[in-house]
Each structure stands twice: as C-alpha cells, then as structure tokens.
Amino acid sequence: MKIVAVCGMGIGTSVLLKMNAEKALRALDVDADVEAADIGTARGAARMSDLVLTSAELVDEIGEVPTEVIVIDNFTDVSEITEKLSQFLQK
C-alpha cells in the first residue's frame, strides 16, 4: 500500500504525519510505504497512491484525485490516525 502524507510545504508537518502514520500502521500490522509531500508534489503522487492523509485546509488544494483523501485533525494524535486508517482498511 502506498500512502502520501501532505502538508503545505512538505517539510515539517508532513514528516510528522508520515512518522505517526507509520506508527499507526505498525500497530495495525499493515505493511505500507508512507511518503511525505508538499501540496504541489501531492497532486501527482496521489494519482499513484492508495490513500492521501492531510489537513482539512488542504483538501481543496489537492483537487480531484482517484484515491481517497482522509482528513487528519491532529497530526500528533497517533490514536486518531490509527482509528482513521483502521476505518479505511475495513472498506
């Protein structure tokens, strides 16, 4: 599975989201490749991924992509990320 973690600049918060998504995936025993990306890179990367994780503010900027976009309210809350990933995986 390929997941893209997106923030506006692709430097700080997307890396934090990437690391916490990896923790959540380990807890769920799911093997996935998580990539941190800025909004510009995310548009292309989302087309080749299974899932995009981002903030509510950036959903519209990502635009129409052929994969699900999950809004994470608190990038530091591993339990929120785990819960939302679990819901996605149960579909």
pLDDT at position 62 is: 86
pLDDT at position 65 is: 86
**CATH fold for domain 2-76:** Rossmann fold (3.40.50)
Residue 66 CB partners (closer than 8 Å, separation 6+): 46, 47
Mapped onto helix, strand or coil, the DSSP state of residue 52 is strand
Q: What backbone torsions phi and psi does residue 27 show, to the nearest 5 degrees?
A: -60, -30
Domain ranges within the chain, ordered by starting residue: 2-76
Residue pLDDT, tens place only, 6-38: 987 757 888 999 999 999 999 999 999 999 998
pLDDT at position 10 is: 59
Query: Rounded to two decimals, what is the model's pTM?
Result: 0.92
